[in-house]
Amino acid sequence: MPITPQDNDAIAIPGGRFRMGGEDDVGYPSDGEGPIRDVAISAFALSPVAVTNDDFAAFADATGYRTTAETDGWSFVFAGLLPENFSPTRGVASAPWWRQVFGASWRNPHGPNSPVENRGDHPVVHVSWFDAAAYCNWAGGRLPTEAEWEYAARGGLEQKRFPWGDDETPGGEHRCNVWQGEFPMSNSLADGWYDTAPVDTFAPNGYGLYNMVGNVWEWCADWFSPQHQPQALDDPIGPATGAARVMRGGSFLCNPSYCFRYRNAARSSNTPDSSTGNLGFRISYDQ
């Protein structure tokens, strides 16, 4: 079994019960954050940080693995990260700030001529759910379930909005990498970052986990559904089938004006073959 940095540092998360989900009135009823339900989680281990570019490079070098974006020849890049003289590209109709960029992949996150060197400690991005699952299998782990992810993100706190509490900037201190300003036109950079940040930026939560919200979305194992059973559940794994997989945690592009999804209970999804410049993952292990 290969050894990666996360194997040596994975944090044991004690089993327990928690109240999963939320009922924030933030305008995303189709996300299915509620109802709040009682969930039991068995003990497991989770990497304290998202898988980095250096980690993924070790995997690719050892196996010759090619990601979905590399095979397809393109991925989605945030328009604000493209140089001003970049050739016009096709955008997403409902989100024109996402541009189809040929040559974009984890190796070149902003497209051609944007090598990943000097970003070894940043989270790997432009990885599909299939890519994330392949890495986890290689490393002897797996993607966390959605319930495990939220339980871990809460860090032992009960029904708090963020991993550190309810105040987004306690004492005026930024605790995650998100967008400050008017998206997508202006970002004040009050948190210090425009793009991804190193995976151990900002203080960890109560379990010692870094950047559980903000920075990059993280793939979970589950298929997505907005419907939940209100009764108590033990180690839920989501529906048996679906069209999209769960993503959690929000990213550096999140902002309350359009995507207030960098909250513990917030959820989203994407098709498993999708890859973007703000989507990564972390690895979990059975105990």
Tell me the pLDDT band of 232, cut-offs 50, 70 and 90.
Answer: confident
What do you get for the CA distance between the two ends of the chain, in Å? Answer: 16
Q: What is the number of other CB atoms lying within 10 angstroms of the CB of residue 71?
A: 11
Q: State pLDDT tens for residues 29-78.
A: 999 999 999 999 999 999 999 999 999 999 999 999 999 999 999 999 99
Q: Which two tokens stand for residue 256?
A: 């309350």
Identify whether the C-beta of residue 262 lies closer than 8 Å to the C-beta of residue 249.
yes
> Do β-strands 233-234 and 37-41 pair in parallel, antiparallel, or remain unpaired?
parallel
pLDDT at 275 over 80: yes
pLDDT at 229: 80
How far apart CA 272 and CA 202 sit, in angstroms, is: 29
Nearest to 263 by CA among 184, 157, 173: 157
Tell me, which fold does domain 5-286 have in CATH? paralog of FGE (formylglycine-generating enzyme) (3.90.1580)
Q: Which amino acid is at 276?
A: T
124 neighbors 280 (Cβ within 8 angstroms): yes
Cβ atoms < 10 Å from Cβ of 1 = 8
pLDDT for 1: 36
Confidence of residue 8 (pLDDT cuts 50, 70, 90): low
Q: Quote the pTM value.
A: 0.96
Burial, 62: exposed, middle or buried (Cβ in 10 Å; 0-12, 13-18, 19+)? exposed
Q: Tokens for 28, please give them.
A: 């995303």
Mean of pLDDT values over 242-268 = 97
Residue 122 CA to chain centroid, in angstroms? 13
Q: What is the predicted pLDDT for the residue at 170?
A: 97
Query: What is the percent of the chain with per-residue pLDDT over 90, rounded to a whole number?
Result: 90
Condensed to tens digits (0 to 9), the pLDDT of residues 164-219 reads: 999 999 999 999 999 999 999 999 999 999 999 999 999 999 999 999 999 999 99
- Per-domain boundaries in the chain: 5-286
187 with 181: CB under 8 angstroms?
Answer: yes
The CA distance from 285 to 217, in Å, is 19
Does residue 7 surpass a pLDDT of 80? no
Q: Would you state the pLDDT for residue 27?
A: 80
DSSP tag of 279: E
247 in Cβ contact with 267 (< 8 Å)? yes
Helices of type H across the chain: 5-9, 53-63, 68-72, 129-138, 146-154
What would the mean pLDDT of 128-156 be, rounded to a whole number?
A: 98
- How many other CB atoms are found less than 10 A from the CB of residue 123? 30
Residue 128 pLDDT greater than 80, yes or no: yes
Residue 156 has pLDDT above 90, yes or no: yes
Q: Compute the average pLDDT of residues 153-159.
A: 98
Looking at residue 4, what is its pLDDT? 46
* Residues 6+ positions from 76 with CB-CB distance below 8 Å: 92, 98, 99, 100, 101, 104, 274, 275, 276, 277
Instruction: Give the Å distances, CA to CA, from 36 to 20, 24, 193, 233, 263.
Output: 6, 11, 33, 12, 14
pLDDT at 3 over 60: no
Q: Is 174 helix (H, G, I), strand (E, B) or coil?
A: coil
Supply φ then ψ for residue 76, to 5 degrees. -90, 130
